[in-house]
Amino acid sequence: MRHNKKFNHLGRRTAHRKAMLSNMATSLIIHKRIKTTVAKAKALKIYVEPLITKSKTDSTHSRRVVFSYLRSKDAVTELFRDISMKVADRPGGYTRIIKLGTRLGDNAEMCMIELVDYNEHMLSTKETKKKSRRSRRGGATKTTEAAAEKTVDAKVEEVTEAKEEATEAKKAE
């Protein structure tokens, strides 16, 4: 009976699967994002997240345990040196899977798996410009927009001057 055995075998024998996941984890740690199928990405997420958690405690034992999974000194060094510093305060969820569509050859669902703290586009919170409504008259030109900004600046100056005068008047009383 196979009760409680929910591991995806990915159509491979155990040794082949472990070697593939080790190579994919090494590539993910070194390159910070890789492109693969959705099934492999989900298996890789289960494989690599405990290793990142283990890298938070930099001890000889944890380095040896991670090395037994990754089998790459460069990846272990990168994981313990750079990645563990970035994820030190994160309680989990170190990877993100972004679906990309299907592959042309065999229609397999493709995705990109990446380390969460290394995506500059998602980390930067840029405020996007509000799109102005278009009017039937054709919209404002650049010169009218500049004039409107000048009038707004002038009104702001008038309001600040009025506030200053009101505070001075109160002080004089």
Q: Are 117 and 123 in contact (CB under 8 A)?
A: yes
Q: Is residue 129 part of a domain?
A: no
Q: What is the pTM of this model?
A: 0.70
Number of Cβ within a 10 Å radius of residue 52: 22
57 plus 94 within the same structural domain: yes
The pLDDT, as a whole number, for residue 165 is: 80
Q: Is residue 4 part of a domain?
A: no
81 plus 166 within the same structural domain: no
pLDDT tens string 54-108: 999 999 999 999 999 999 999 999 999 999 999 999 999 999 999 999 999 999 9
Number of domains in the chain: 2
Q: Is residue 9 part of a domain?
A: no
84 plus 167 within the same structural domain: no
Query: Could you list the residue range(s) of the whole structural domain that residue 106 is in?
Result: 14-119
Q: Is residue 90 part of a domain?
A: yes
Q: Is residue 35 part of a domain?
A: yes
Q: Is residue 148 part of a domain?
A: yes
Q: Is residue 136 part of a domain?
A: no
46 plus 80 within the same structural domain: yes
106 plus 159 within the same structural domain: no
94 plus 153 within the same structural domain: no
Strand, helix or coil for residue 39: helix
Q: Is residue 2 part of a domain?
A: no
Q: How far apart are the C-alpha atoms of 91 and 6, rounded to whole Å?
A: 24
94 plus 163 within the same structural domain: no
- The pLDDT confidence band at residue 160, using thresholds 50, 70 and 90, is confident
The pLDDT, as a whole number, for residue 21 is: 98
- CA torsion sign for 138, 143, 148, 149 is positive
87 plus 148 within the same structural domain: no
Q: Could you tell me which residue, 166 or 131, shows the higher pLDDT?
A: 166
**Is the pLDDT reported for residue 159 higher than 70?**
yes
53, two tokens: 């958690």
> The domain that contains 100 carries what CATH number?
3.90.1030.10
- CA torsion sign for 64, 66, 71, 76 is negative
151 plus 93 within the same structural domain: no
pLDDT tens string 103-150: 999 999 999 999 999 988 777 765 555 666 666 766 555 555 666 666
